[in-house]
């Protein structure tokens, strides 16, 4: 595992890996673990947006819909220019979830020296993530999130993913950047597969 992590580091440089998946697919969990392993900085669009909504007393995402693209550009894209991130690789959690935003994300990332080198899809069924949602509500381990308030809001998020984010992933796939991971496995198995597939990409690029 250590050799594969080192290979990924050498290939990634100060570039970015963007992780996508349905709500409750484990994007932040796997993203944080990968960032720690790579010595990277972690940026989550969800965390950024919820913090800005709280700061500005806004509620764009309260009912499960994605924030408008112009707001996404204003709130999230400037993070790529932060000086404290300049010399680090980045692991991103769903940065640019609405079709068309991925072009601006790639441009902003490249302009700051964080070219997007790979895009991960944690592939999980809607049935599985609904089960995870119900389990999380029982455990109360997601905090007081308005976009997780009830199953109707959660299902709106699933619909947003299918209609707005799947085309983003299709675009990344056409660019040869998309890597699919079986997100239904245990957290440890998902991370192992994630490292394995990124290592394979790194090997081909460094050959």
pLDDT one-digit tens code per residue, 37-59: 999 999 999 999 999 998 999 88
Q: What is the CATH number of the domain that holds 80?
A: 3.40.50.300
Whether 111 maps to a domain, the answer reads yes
Whether 80 maps to a domain, the answer reads yes
Q: Is the pLDDT of residue 174 over 90?
A: yes
Whether 20 maps to a domain, the answer reads yes
Q: Is the pLDDT of residue 130 over 60?
A: yes
Average pLDDT of the segment spanning 61-75 = 92
- Between helix 27-38 and helix 2-12 the angle, nearest 10°, is 90
Whether 205 maps to a domain, the answer reads no
Range of the domain at 166: 2-200
Strand pairing report for 178-182 and 41-44: unpaired
Q: Mean pLDDT score of the chain, rounded to an integer? A: 92
Q: 150 — alpha (psi -120 to 50), left (phi > 0) or beta?
A: beta
Whether 206 maps to a domain, the answer reads no
Whether 194 maps to a domain, the answer reads yes
State the total domains in the chain. 1
Alpha-carbon distance of 120 to 194, in angstroms, equals 8
- Span 8-39, pLDDT tens digits: 999 999 999 999 999 999 999 999 999 999 99
Whether 110 maps to a domain, the answer reads yes
Which structure tokens are listed for 152?
A: 């109707």
Whether 99 maps to a domain, the answer reads yes
């Amino acid at each position: 595992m250590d050799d594969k992590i080192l290979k990924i580091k050498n290939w990634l440089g100060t570039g970015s890996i963007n992780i996508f998946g349905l709500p409750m697919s484990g994007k932040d969990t796997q993203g944080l673990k990968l960032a720690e392993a790579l010595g990277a900085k972690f940026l989550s669009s969800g965390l950024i947006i919820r913090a800005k909504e709280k700061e500005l007393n806004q509620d764009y995402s309260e009912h499960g819909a994605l924030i408008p693209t112009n707001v996404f550009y204003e709130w999230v894209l400037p993070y790529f220019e932060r000086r404290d991130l300049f010399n680090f690789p980045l692991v991103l959690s769903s940065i640019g979830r609405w079709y068309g935003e991925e072009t601006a994300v790639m441009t902003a990332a490249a302009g700051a020296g964080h070219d997007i080198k790979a895009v991960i899809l944690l592939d999980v069924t809607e049935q599985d993530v609904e089960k995870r949602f119900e389990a999380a509500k029982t455990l109360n381990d997601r905090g007081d999130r308005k976009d997780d308030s009830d199953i109707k809001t959660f299902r709106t998020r699933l619909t947003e993913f299918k209609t707005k984010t799947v085309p983003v992933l299709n675009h990344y796939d056409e660019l040869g950047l998309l890597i699919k991971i079986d997100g239904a496995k245990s957290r440890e198995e998902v991370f192992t597969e994630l490292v394995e597939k990124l290592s394979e990409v790194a090997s081909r690029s460094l050959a």
